[in-house]
C-alpha cells in the first residue's frame, strides 16, 4: 500500500487484516483473466464515520466501498442481508458478507472488473473520487414546477 490505511491515532489493525485477506486472495488469483495485472490490493480513503470504518478496497478484480461494522451493526447485520447505510450524500445499499477471519463487512460495488484502469494511480484516483463523493452533502431537490411540487396521495390518485 502506498498510503496510510487509517488516520493517525486510530486502530488500523482491522483494516490491515482486511487488506491482508484480499492480498492473500490476489496471490491465489494471479494470472486469472478476471484480474488486471497492473493493480494491487489497496485500502483508499479509509476513515471513521458514525462508529464505522468506511473506505474503498481496490483489488485487481474489483473496487468496492467497504464498511467495517460498528458494535451496533454486529448485533443486527446478517450474512447475505442488505444493510442500508446513510452518508452525507444519501442512503446506499451494502451487501453484508463474511470476510474470512475478519468477520462481517458490508460492501457496495463500484467496479466489478478492473481492466479499464491502466495502472494503480488511476484506480486510486477513482477510489478517492468515490469516497469523497460519498461524504459530499446531497443537494436538496427542488421541484421543477408548481405542478411537480403537488403531492398526490394514492387515495386521491384513485379518485377518492
**Residue 133: how many CB atoms within 10 A of its CB?**
11
Highest CATH level, class, for 13-157: alpha beta
10-69 pLDDT tens trace: 567 899 999 999 999 999 999 999 999 999 999 999 999 999 999 999 999 999 999 999
Q: Are 58 and 66 in contact (CB under 8 A)?
A: no
Which is higher by pLDDT, 154 or 12? 12
What angle is formed at CA 36 by the lines to CA 42 and CA 112, rounded to 5 degrees?
75
Q: Are 108 and 87 in contact (CB under 8 A)?
A: no
Question: Starting at the edge strand that comes first in sequence, how are the strands of the sheet with 42-49 ordered?
Answer: 42-49, 52-58, 63-68, 104-111, 90-98, 82-87
Q: Which three cell numbers stand for residue 48?
A: 471513521
pTM here is 0.80
88-139 pLDDT tens trace: 999 999 999 999 999 999 999 999 999 999 999 999 999 999 999 999 998 7
Alpha-carbon distance 5 to 2, whole Å? 9
For residue 8, name the pLDDT band (cuts at 50, 70, 90).
very low
Amino acid at each position: 500500500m502506498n498510503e496510510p490505511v487509517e488516520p493517525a491515532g486510530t486502530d488500523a489493525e482491522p483494516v490491515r487484516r482486511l487488506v491482508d485477506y484480499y492480498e492473500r486472495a490476489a496471490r491465489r488469483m494471479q494470472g486469472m483473466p478476471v484480474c488486471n495485472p497492473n493493480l494491487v490490493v489497496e485500502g483508499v480513503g479509509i476513515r471513521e464515520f458514525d462508529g464505522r470504518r468506511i473506505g474503498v478496497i481496490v483489488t485487481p478484480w474489483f473496487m468496492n466501498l467497504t464498511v467495517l461494522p460498528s458494535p451496533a451493526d454486529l448485533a443486527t447485520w446478517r450474512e447475505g442481508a442488505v444493510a442500508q447505510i446513510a452518508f452525507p450524500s444519501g442512503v446506499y445499499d451494502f451487501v453484508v458478507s463474511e470476510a474470512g477471519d475478519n468477520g462481517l463487512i458490508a460492501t457496495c460495488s463500484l467496479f466489478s472488473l478492473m481492466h479499464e484502469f491502466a495502472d494503480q494511480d488511476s484506480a486510486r484516483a477513482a477510489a478517492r473520487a468515490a469516497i469523497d463523493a460519498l461524504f459530499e452533502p446531497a443537494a436538496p431537490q427542488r421541484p421543477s414546477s408548481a405542478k411537480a411540487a403537488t403531492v398526490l396521495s394514492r387515495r386521491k390518485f384513485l379518485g377518492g
